[in-house]
Amino acid sequence: MWTASQVLRRFSTSPHHYQNKLKLAIIGQSLFGQEVYSNLRKQGHRVVGVFTVPDKDGKADPLAVAAEKDGTPVFKFPRWRVKGKPIPEVVEAYKAVGAELNVMPFCSQFIPMNIINNPKHGSIIYHPSILPLHRGASAINWTLIHGDKKAGFTVFWADDGLDTGPILLQRECAVQPNDTVDTLYNRFLFPEGINAMVESVQLIADGKAPQIPQAEEGASYEGIQKKSNAKVDLAQPAEAIHNWIRGHDKVPGAWTVIDGQSVTLYGSSMLGGKAPDGQTLEIEGASRPGLVTKKGLVLHGTDGKALLVKSLQFEDGKMIPASKYFSSGEGASVELTDNEKRVAEEIRNIWKGILSNVPTINDNTDFFKSGAASMDVVRLVEEVKQKCAGMQLQNEDVYMYTTFQDFIQMFVRKLRGDDQKEELVIDYATKEVNSMTVKMPYQCFINGKFEDAESGKTYDTINPTDGSVICKVSYASVGDVDRAVAAAKEAYEIGPWGKMNPRDRGSLLYKLADLMEEHQEELATIESIDSGAVYTLALKTHVGMSIQTFRYFAGWCDKVQGKTIPINQARPNRNLTFTKKEPLGVCAIVIPWNYPLMMLAWKSAACLAAGNTLVLKPAQVTPLTALKFAELSVNAGIPKGVINILPGSGGMVGQRLSDHPDIRKLGFTGSTPIGKQIMKSCALSNLKKVSLELGGKSPLIIFSDCDMDKAVRMGMSSVYFNKGENCIAAGRLFVEESIHDEFISRVVEEIKKMKIGDPLDRSTDHGPQNHRAHLDKLLEYCDVGVKEGATLVYGGRQVDRPGFFMEPTVFTDVEDHMFIAKEESFGPVMVVSKFKDGDVDGVLQRANDTEYGLASGVFTRDINKAMYVSEQLEAGTVFVNTYNKTDVASPFGGFKQSGFGKDLGEDALMEYLKTKAVTVEY
């Protein structure tokens, strides 16, 4: 024991590891407290004790969970004092840890001054305002309520006043027009607050921490905001109303009185321009009646300006879109009229006639649990339709609303016409291009609606043909991800998608494919101006294969089957074991920019066919066809929440999808380094399933006994197809020595015939690279090739015209050690190496000498040689005497650092299913 203590002491006082480090007591709670604790430990400070709140409902606070996992002493005191006096045993337990500094990142308990002042360096506290402004527990609320243009936080030295101690450090940020408590906290106060607490501790350790007295000028204190004092005063200017509502969103919630009951208002934003048409709604205390519109509830201020409220919550806890106030849908119960009650009793008698074994039909009677079968469904539907001529009732309605109460609610909504599908409101970006008018959604698509990003931020998406701005696109935030995941989870767990018959699900996917085909010219045009794809290729491949993919997987919906398995674990063997294939739940999909719509289809079609819901992030530079697809999905009847599309950055949206605990699978196509980061995040978050289609350096071997015409044509296609922005592009060609020079000569001859230009011109062969940064990277790639000694036979330069055009390029004399021999260009760069005549095994060794293994190819008339080479090549796809020939029924995916998991074919469906084994003894 003594020896161990000495070792620990020597380590703890080591000047290398613990120089200018402190022994800390962390007093606080919540995820914020946990993050501060973890980051301080990473910086080498020693946490000698964590003081947090007792477990709630058997669940420890996040700070306690992290500390207990690390073996840090944890104390869970329900209180620190009684009747204003410190509790002696609590004080004694605290002092025993020997802290040099108290760090209080989020503390909801009153800490006595003999604890505050006990450590050598005292105590520091985090407060979410720019002190001395907004002292008190509701500082963030009041920052927004007062309409402050700046928000921020303060790390200060604790004293015996209320947030009055000397200031150590402050940080500021701008308040966005539609910020709420949540967005402000998540965007700035939380992440930067953690960094500031760690920085403050280090300043104290280094003896550099200031103590700046707070000025009383500008000081303010506002009381705690509770539900009881959060009623909004509607007799004031619109911006003041907006600030009050957003200052209470989500907690405690600003409320008003409508039709005699308290209604809480969420999702406020200032309304620019003329208010949309709507139905008037009297609201207590308002200067003018509100308007229930398709976009939400419009409230008018006394200054003639207006604001828009998106969601309403009633006293019973039910929340509805404000646009649905006069509709009985969205979970609000229908109050039946006398005539509707009479009809309901007639329907009750129909149920009695069918469910003759049930003594009484009450509200909770379940049609199927009471013994009804499929023929009873038909009978119920037909009898009800006979009673109510003109009623549009489907068998599916019975399966969706199985209890008598739910069935009656559904029936009355249909009777009133309240079940009519809500009109999709889209603010299009419109362009006259390619002899047509293209209408492009540009907002986030969440829960069946297009809406601005929570932050209000946008970015420009660029036409690579001339560098012009196509439109501004919403820039999704972490909050948008969370809302989209919540919508997808609800759609999966309680919405119609999760309950839907697989064959009906397939019908919807077929309809979606049909709509994509109806709009194929518009989709191809959008794809062309957003990604630079040649229009004819976009029409055939980008869009055409997307349509085929949805049709293929639509056919799989009702063909997912398990197995029966004989087992022999006991005698007598009266056991039945069978397996079921079940959907995973909410899935995330992150797609690249080279085939924006096709990569969406390859992953989302299989995902949806398996019965999952999804949140998809298109590439930041090519979001437009994904958003158009979202519009078509609504028109196809895909229920809200099933598909969600979030344009924005991979670093923000993609990372949050990787980290989100409610996502059960992430499918990604992109670079290997990002794939590795995603895989790590998915493992650390909740061990979500992952499939990765990553980088490639696909070899193409051309033997002297090939069909030369075909080898030249297909060899060029293997490199220049889709401007070389092709994951399976032949990254390196190995050409047998005896035909090498002829092959190169013929390739260059054909390149000179290629037409480079406007991708919408039907005669164009080669369009612009996807975006400026990629073009610059390709030019740098070629410079490296030349510097390393490869021979630049053709191209290697930017085309002298507006836009991001690059010449098709050919390198020869490429040696195995060179950068361009090992790294993917992802552009129109043909990298050619010779191999000696007849050296099959030698060229195979060189072809496989890569960490990638996505695709490969071989050209030879010798079928024995072709089969041997295809067996030896280490790649997920091998093309023989062809290239780029993918099909929706053939599995696609790589080996090694090109990833794992499959797109397309039955294998892809299995990526989005889980296997459950059931064993029954009888």
440 annotated as ligand-binding: no
163 annotated as ligand-binding: yes
From the CB of residue 880, how many other CB atoms can be counted at a distance below 10 Å? 17
Q: What angle do CA 661, 690, 771 make, to 5 degrees?
A: 100
619 annotated as ligand-binding: yes
592 annotated as ligand-binding: yes
Amino acid symbol at 456:
G
222 annotated as ligand-binding: no
617 annotated as ligand-binding: yes
Tally the residues of the chain: 922
DSSP for 149-185?
A: SEEEEEEEE--SSSS-SPEEEEEEEEPPTT--HHHHI
Selected catalytic residue, list 35, 454, 522, 693: 693
Selected catalytic residue, list 107, 444, 587, 727: 727
Could you list the beta-strand ranges (E) of 533-629.
Answer: 564-565, 575-583, 586-590, 613-617
199 annotated as ligand-binding: no
What letter does residue 234 receive in the DSSP assignment? -
Q: Distance between CA 801 and CA 823 in Å, rounded? A: 28
Task: State the chain's maximal CA–CA distance in angstroms.
Answer: 97
- Position of tokens 């929340």? 319
Selected catalytic residue, list 127, 519, 660, 766: 127
Q: Distance between CA 149 and CA 613 in Å, rounded? A: 39
Residue 90 DSSP SS3: helix
Is the CA virtual torsion 167, 172, 177, 180 positive or negative?
negative
What tokens appear for 738 in the block? 């005896």
- Which H or E run contains 855? strand 855-859
Main-chain phi, psi angles of 413, to 5 degrees: -60, -45
Q: Distance between CA 652 and CA 77 in Å, rounded? A: 37
Amino acid symbol at 633:
S
From the CB of residue 632, how many other CB atoms can be counted at a distance below 10 Å? 19
655 annotated as ligand-binding: yes
272 annotated as ligand-binding: no
Residue 127 annotated in active site:
yes
654 annotated as ligand-binding: yes
**CB neighbours of 132 closer than 8 A, spacing ≥ 6?**
163, 164, 214, 215, 216, 218, 219, 220
593 annotated as ligand-binding: yes
Q: Distance between CA 179 and CA 242 in Å, rounded? A: 10
DSSP for 633-646?
A: HHHTTPPTTSEEE-
863 annotated as ligand-binding: no
Residue 521 annotated in active site:
no
Q: Which pairing describes strands 575-583 and 913-921: parallel, antiparallel, or unpaired?
A: antiparallel
Residue 107 annotated in active site:
no
Q: Distance between CA 59 and CA 50 in Å, rounded? A: 17
820 annotated as ligand-binding: no
DSSP for 726-746?
A: -TT-EEEEEEEHHHHHHHHHH
Q: Which pairing describes strands 458-463 and 449-451: parallel, antiparallel, or unpaired?
A: unpaired
Q: Distance between CA 287 and CA 498 in Å, rounded? A: 45
866 annotated as ligand-binding: no
What tokens appear for 821 in the block? 């021999």
Q: Distance between CA 665 and CA 689 in Å, rounded? A: 4
Residue 878 DSSP SS3: strand
Amino acid symbol at 600:
L
From the CB of residue 97, how many other CB atoms can be counted at a distance below 10 Å? 18
154: left (phi over 0), alpha (psi -120 to 50) or beta: beta
548 annotated as ligand-binding: no
111 annotated as ligand-binding: yes
What b/e readout covers 378-387, taking b as 16+ CB neighbours within 10 angstroms?
eebbebbeee
What letter does residue 227 receive in the DSSP assignment? G
Q: Which of 752, 759, 693 is nearest to 728 (CA)?
A: 693
What tokens appear for 378 in the block? 């038909």
- Position of tokens 């090694």? 896
Q: Distance between CA 435 and CA 291 in Å, rounded? A: 40
661 annotated as ligand-binding: no
Distances (CA, A) of 550 to 81, 337, 587, 818, 913: 65, 45, 17, 42, 17
620 annotated as ligand-binding: yes
Q: What angle do CA 364, 369, 372 make, to 5 degrees?
A: 110
32 annotated as ligand-binding: no
Sequence ranges of the binding site: 109-111, 163, 591-593, 617-620, 650-655, 670-671, 777, 824-826
Sequence ranges of the binding site for (6R)-10-formyltetrahydrofolate: 109-111, 163
Sequence ranges of the binding site for NADP(+): 591-593, 617-620, 650-655, 670-671, 777, 824-826
As annotated, the active-site residues are 127, 693, 727
